[in-house]
Amino acid sequence: MMRHSIFSLARNALSHHERWPRQWRSPSPKPAYDVVIIGAGGHGLATAYYLAKEHGISNVAVLEKGWLGGGNTGRNTTIVRSNYLWDESAAIYEKSLKLWEGLSRDLDYNVMLSQRGVLNLAHNLHDIREGRRRVYANQLCGIDAEWLSPAEVKAFCPILNTSPAIRYPVLGSTLQRRAGVARHDAVAWGYARAADARGVDIIENCEVTGFRIEQGRVMGVETTKGFIGARAVGCVAAGHSSVLAQMAGFRLPIQSHPLQALVSEPIKPILDCVVMSAAVHVYVSQSDKGELVIGAGIDAYNSYAQRGSFHVIESLMGALIELFPMFSRLKMMRSWGGIVDVCPDASPIIGATPVEGLYFNCGWGTGGFKAIPGSGWAFAYNLAKGEPHALNAPFSLDRFRTGALIDEHGAAAVSH
Ligand code: FAD
Ligand code: PYC
């Protein structure tokens, strides 16, 4: 049972929000910390929380150039699942999903996890082979995964057009029933509040502009609020990881792309699962407000602009209406974009860099929201111990030298 009772909800609903207590402090930075985290997105905040909770390290600052949760964490379409192909990925995403399942209780903050099931549709022979292979691989790892025939897809999602007459008919689908959606802002706010309560300083409007590096070791960061010393620095700045790596004097195998999404006007409940199609480039779910939350793959060009192109919207709308003809009369309300950092193998980089004491967690591409709890948990271990946990060891930067890539293009689900 959540500590926030129905009475406290009612009291807050009737009170003036000006009197609500702040959920986290707004401290000035101290001269130095044990650990400085760059980026107050979900990953950075979760890392700080688990550093304090699991390792007793609370002399930690999270530095954010804007407002917390204002990056991809507050711009994503909130799909949570763990149905990745390779054992290394399945392990970290499933750890994450397990943490999601207890997160509201752990943070004492309702992150509104809704395990409504996620379909990944197949429209051609390649999709069928890839989807079935992934279902078998997931089952071998103990992850719930099913393969559905077109008739079973129709039974699971009756409003989906499974007619064989459409351009790209539905030939089957993977289904993960434990997958679903969560409330993106609540995840950032919940971790922020819980980290703050354990003594972590969250410092907004504080941009990192450089690193102080002496004899190959990081000593701290230069910021718009002055120099801040640190024994270890964790950089979790999705969308700007390459920019920060350049400041530290090395390059990452990352390309930054816009990824956009949009929502419809709110309507009554009509869609009670998540439907994704990598082949026709569209995915959709319905939010608790009633809006359809819709997206597609990345915009193909590199950019640091937080907006996407109209032609992507046009083609995703074509795909959406073919799969859900009844949506054709809906009005679209608003669209927005984020910047995603994409690695060549569509897997993240979590761990050490060429600079001693400086660690990066980046390259989550289009799929890092679901990973926030697991990634934060493993990255906190890495920062606390100075060596990777088994969960993040395979995702080292070094894999681009050794060739031990973890190709997750199939599971990435919206194309990279
Ligand atoms: P962010 O939330 O972007 O946080 C990084 C922070 O670093 C930002 O707040 C930024 O301001 C800050 N920062 C950058 N540079 C500096 C600096 N120099 N100094 C200080 N701070 C700095 N994933 C899923 O799993 N499911 C989905 O359904 C999904 N849908 C998506 C839809 C869209 C439209 C987008 C854009 C992404 C989607 N993703 C999804 C991906 C997911 O949003 C990201 O992988 C995830 O949010 C990354 O979290 P983060 O904490 O690393 O990054
Ligand atoms: O990773 O499941 C995902 C996803 C869906 C939309 C964007 N990313």
* pLDDT at residue number 7: 78
| Tokens matching residue 319 | 């795909």
* Nearest ligand to residue 275 Cα: 2
Per-residue pLDDT tens for 325-382? 999 999 999 999 999 999 999 999 999 999 999 999 999 999 999 999 999 999 999 9
Confidence of residue 1 (pLDDT cuts 50, 70, 90): very low
CATH code of the domain containing 125: 3.30.9.10
Q: pTM for this one?
A: 0.96
Give domain status of residue 195, yes or no.
yes
> Same domain for 35 and 139?
no
Average pLDDT, the chain: 95
Q: How far apart are CA 106 and CA 114, in angstroms?
A: 16
| Mean of pLDDT values over 289-302 | 94
Q: Are residues 265 and 391 in the same domain?
A: no
* pLDDT tens profile 29-60: 999 999 999 999 999 999 999 999 999 999 99
* Domain end call among 298, 319, 342: 342
Q: Which domain holds residue 68?
A: 29-79+85-94+101-106+184-253+345-412
Give the nearest ligand 1 atom to 370 CA.
25
Number of domains in the chain: 2
The pLDDT of residue 17 is above 90: no
Q: Is the CB of 370 within 6 Å of ligand 1?
A: yes
Percent of the chain with pLDDT over 90: 91
Q: Ligand 1: does its nearest atom lie under 6 Å from the Cβ of 397?
A: no
Q: Does 180 contact ligand 1 (Cβ within 6 A)?
A: no
Answer yes or no: do 152 and 240 share one domain.
no
Asked whether residue 231 falls in the same domain as residue 362, the answer is yes
Supply the pLDDT for residue 254: 97
pLDDT confidence tier of residue 4, bands split at 50, 70 and 90: low
Residue 386 lies in a domain: yes
Residue 414: pLDDT above 90?
no
Percent of the chain with pLDDT over 70: 98
> Which atom of ligand 1 sits closest to the CA of residue 362?
52
pLDDT in tens, 121-147: 999 999 999 999 999 999 999 999 999
Query: What pLDDT digit, counting tens, does each position of 58-102 carry?
Result: 999 999 999 999 999 999 999 999 999 999 999 999 999 999 999
In the numeric block, the tokens 């993040």 are attached to 392
Ligand 1 atom closest to the Cα of residue 74 is 2
Domain assignment present for 2? no
Q: What is the pLDDT averaged over residues 248-262? A: 97
Same domain, 338 and 352: no
Q: Pick from 342, 369, 404: which residue ends a domain? A: 342
> Does residue 263 share a domain with residue 332?
yes
Considering only 7-11, 214-218, 395-399, which range has the smallest mean pLDDT? 7-11
Decide if pLDDT at 194 tops 60: yes
Predicted local confidence at residue 413, as pLDDT: 67
pLDDT at 3: 56
Taking CA atoms only, the protein residue closest to ligand 2 atom 2 is 79
Asked if pLDDT for residue 397 goes beyond 80, the answer is yes
CA of 151 to the centre of ligand 2 (A): 25
Please report which confidence band the pLDDT of residue 13 belongs to, taking 50, 70 and 90 as the band edges. confident
CATH number at residue 204: 3.50.50.60
Is the domain of 232 the same as that of 367? Answer: yes
Higher pLDDT, residue 296 or 5: 296
Does residue 79 have its Cβ closer than 6 Å to ligand 2?
yes
What is the reported pLDDT for 97? Answer: 98
Q: Give the residue from 326, 342, 358 where a domain finishes.
A: 342
> What band does 318 get if pLDDT is binned at 50, 70 and 90?
very high
